[in-house]
Structure 1
Amino acid sequence: MARKTLKVTGMSCGHCEMSVKEELEELEGVQSATADHTTGDVEVAYEEGRVTDEQFKEAVEEAGYTLKA
């Protein structure tokens, strides 16, 4: 299982964290996601080769936030 830390801007509360977490966990190949609005960090555990950086970006945007490059 691979792990990645994403930097997400715009999260300001627990509801924001839950929105990002739920969108990421809907992606096939993502085992879990944990967001922290105070730091903007989102930790994702996923199966390498089953999910792409572009899919992470799209999921974060679907939740209404921006993934930093």
Structure 2
Amino acid sequence: MTESVILTVTGMKCGGCESNVTNKLKAVEGVLSVKASARDNEVSVEYDAEKTDLDAIEEAITEAGFSVE
């Protein structure tokens, strides 16, 4: 089952930060698409809920060096 979530992520300042978050999330099994915006402090994620969950997504963002609010 495909689900979508928009998370508020702090600490992103530039396109490099967006790429870092995007690449980290795309490495999570079950993540289908990612759109990160440093300007809006948001990350939009579409994922397969049978393969991953919100906790894994938030953990990947934290491992990339950013905070999820």
**TM-score normalised over the length of structure 1:** 0.91
| Distance in structure 1 (CA, Å) of the matches to 2:8 and 2:57 | 11
Q: SS state of the match for residue 2, structure 1?
A: strand
- For structure 1, the residue ranges without an aligned partner over 5 or more in a row are none
**TM-score normalised over the length of structure 2:** 0.91
Q: How many percent of aligned residue pairs carry the same amino acid?
A: 35
The residue aligned with 1:66 is 67
| Number of aligned residue pairs | 68
The residue aligned with 2:25 is 24
| Distance in structure 1 (CA, Å) of the matches to 2:7 and 2:23 | 15
What do residues 10-35 of structure 1 show as CA deviations (whole Å, max 9, x unaligned)?
00000000000111111110011110
Give runs of ≥4 in structure 1 deviating > 4 Å. Answer: none
Q: What is the Cα deviation at residue 49 of structure 1?
A: 2.7
CA RMSD in angstroms, aligned pairs only:
0.9
Q: What is the Cα deviation at residue 51 of structure 1?
A: 1.1
Q: Supply the AA of the counterpart residue of 2:60.
A: A
- For structure 2, the residue ranges without an aligned partner over 5 or more in a row are none
